[in-house]
Amino acid sequence: MDRRDFIKIAGASVPFALAPSTSHAIWGTVAQYRQAVPEIFQNVPRPPAYTPALVIGSGFGGAITALRLAQAGIQTTVLERGFRWPISARRQTFSTDMFPDGRGYWYRTSFKQLTGLTSFMDSFGGVFDCVDYDNISVWRGACVGGGSVVFTGVMIQPERRYFDAIFNGLVNYDELDRVYYPRVRQMLRLSPMPNDVYQSAPFGHSRIWDTHTRKAGYTPVGNDSIFNWDVVRGELKGGYRPSATLGESNLGNSDGAKFDLTQNYLKLAEQTGKATVYPAHEVKNVYFDGTRYSVDVIKRSPDGKQLDRYSVTCDKLFLAAGSIGTSEILVRARALNHIPNLNEHVGEGWGTNGDVSAVRTFGALKGLTQGSPSASRITDASGMPTTLENWYVPSLSVNLGMNASLGMVFDQKNRASFRYDGSRDRVNLLWPKNGNDDAIAAVRSVNNRIAAASGTIPGAWPFAPDCSASWTAHPLGGAVLGRATDAWGRVIGPKHLYVMDGAMIPGTTGAVNPSLTISALAERNIEAILKQDF
């Protein structure tokens, strides 16, 4: 890129960077959203009053559970609070990341980006839910497909030594390595970024990142990814509306560049005729009478209006609402005695997976935009085991010479608990104020080393610090295997209640992204449950 090109892009970005809001992203009327994405306004029928199996949530754990139950011939209802979003090669169904509107966020009117800038939008049922607790903001998906729609696509198997330290023999690493990790990789078509994509203009920032880490003495290795590289190539050739090549990911890829769960597990589950996903259904309470579970559900429209409220029942209930959703359901049910005999470990053992964002500035410029798929990662085990992934700058599509990393630290110490607040009928997450200090120190050490070797500057003054851990995109724990559940996710106490998502993992997956391990455990657990409990 020459100086003139850089000045043009930088100049175009300055108003965005300095503006107090992005008011032009506020559409203001539901009619505009209905015109843009009429599919999410389609009437969703009421689920059957009773089905033998019911799954709450349609992310990795829920989608896998639904498919395997359906393949076993078991009629299954899947409840999802978010909406079913379509994909299109040319149409923009999701919000952009850089100028988000209501399609982006789950009933919020503002969101502080990792760049330090605040975006403003309509309150609407968008795909990205950010829950603010004291001391931590937790990010999660809110749509059919859950986190698979809004994550950055990286799916990495943890090292054996870290896995065994996490599970202490409760889960057999060799079995997951031999059977369940490969099964998930095959289903999701995981693969590293091909060289032709890596060498393309939108991934110049990825090549710079790799060069900088090599100068610091690290060896970057390729990340397995859920991105469909043929769609990414289609963007590069002009056959698709740019999305992954334009820094879109956190708020969805309209062209289906991510091979998310709506294109595989959930699609296959519904094709059996035995499983049905019901969007727009938010679970409020769960009850158990000793025989059947009753699930209290609110049906909502995308603009937040309550359309209906009713209960559905099942014999076997599978919780897959994510670490936050599943923990909230169980903690509330225990506090109100809606589900008797839940033990003292429910709501415990929650962690952030050691998530830390890191940034450096004044790097070399290659390419006008930043593609969102992550090409590579490095590891540093000199202190607390730390991974840095080759990232783009979320919410900033243009390339301004900022080099971003996602850090994940193997932190086995800092944990939090969930507690029910009866005065507000709310489940709170009690994350300590300094709970991420150890992770920040570990990531900062690696980031500073890279900055010193590459001649870049830690941080993005005056907008963003060098490292931030005020958030997590990888919430884990709250119903941990071997504590709140047995080794296969059966909740201890009540019968026929199962945890199938990140809530079963004790706060960390060993300095890598959790989605592959959540998926492998779900495959393992549902296989055992089908053999032994049906």
pLDDT at 18 over 50: no
Q: Hey, what amino acid is at 516?
A: L
Alpha carbon 483 to its chain's center: 24
β-pair type (275-278, 281-288): unpaired
Which tokens in the block code for residue 202? 């939108």
Which tokens in the block code for residue 152? 């950055």
Alpha carbon 238 to its chain's center: 28
CA gap 423, 407 in Å, rounded? 37
pLDDT at 6 over 80: no
Q: Which of 335, 459, 422, 426 is nearest to 132 (CA)?
A: 426
Q: How confident is the model at residue 367 (pLDDT cuts 50, 70, 90)?
A: low
Which tokens in the block code for residue 72? 């076993």
DSSP sequence for 171-223: S-HHHIIIIIHHHHHHHHT-BPPPHHHHTSGGGHHHHHHHHHHHHTT---EEP
Residue 125 pairs with which residues in a beta bridge?
Answer: 106
pLDDT at 24: 44
**CB-side exposure of 122: number of CA atoms within 13 Å?**
20
H, E, C per residue of 44-105:
CCCCCCEEEEEEECCCHHHHHHHHHHHHCCCCEEEECCCECCCCCCCCCCCCCCCCCCCCCE
pLDDT at 21 over 70: no
Q: Of 212-221, 394-403, 436-445, 468-477, give the lowest mean pLDDT range.
A: 394-403
CA angle 148–151–153, rounded 5-degree value: 80
pLDDT at 19: 36
Q: How confident is the model at residue 145 (pLDDT cuts 50, 70, 90)?
A: very high
Q: How confident is the model at residue 462 (pLDDT cuts 50, 70, 90)?
A: confident
* Helical residues (DSSP H) of 276-408, grouped into ranges: 322-335
pLDDT at 15 over 80: no
Summarize pLDDT for 386-400 with one digit per residue, the tens.
Answer: 999 999 888 777 777
The arithmetic mean of pLDDT across residues 54-67, rounded, is 99
CA gap 97, 183 in Å, rounded? 32
pLDDT at 406: 97
DSSP 502: G
Summarize pLDDT for 479-514 with one digit per residue, the tens.
Answer: 999 999 999 999 999 999 999 999 999 999 999 999
pLDDT at 363 over 80: no
pLDDT at 16 over 60: no
* DSSP E strand boundaries for 320-458: 355-361, 376-380, 386-391, 403-409, 417-421, 426-430, 457-458
The arithmetic mean of pLDDT across residues 320-332, rounded, is 99
Query: Between 181-188 and 515-533, two packed helices, what is the crossing angle to 10 degrees?
Result: 110
Dihedral sign for Cα atoms in the order 61, 67, 73, 79: positive
The arithmetic mean of pLDDT across residues 76-88, rounded, is 98
Which tokens in the block code for residue 150? 């809004």
Q: Indicate the pTM of the whole model.
A: 0.94
The domain spans of the chain are 19-533
pLDDT at 174 over 80: yes
pLDDT at 7 over 50: no
Q: Which fold has domain 19-533?
A: FAD/NAD(P)-binding domain (3.50.50)
Place of tokens 């390729």: 222
CA gap 185, 515 in Å, rounded? 11
CA gap 491, 513 in Å, rounded? 25
Q: 532: Cβ–Cβ under 8 A, 6 or more apart, which residues? A: none
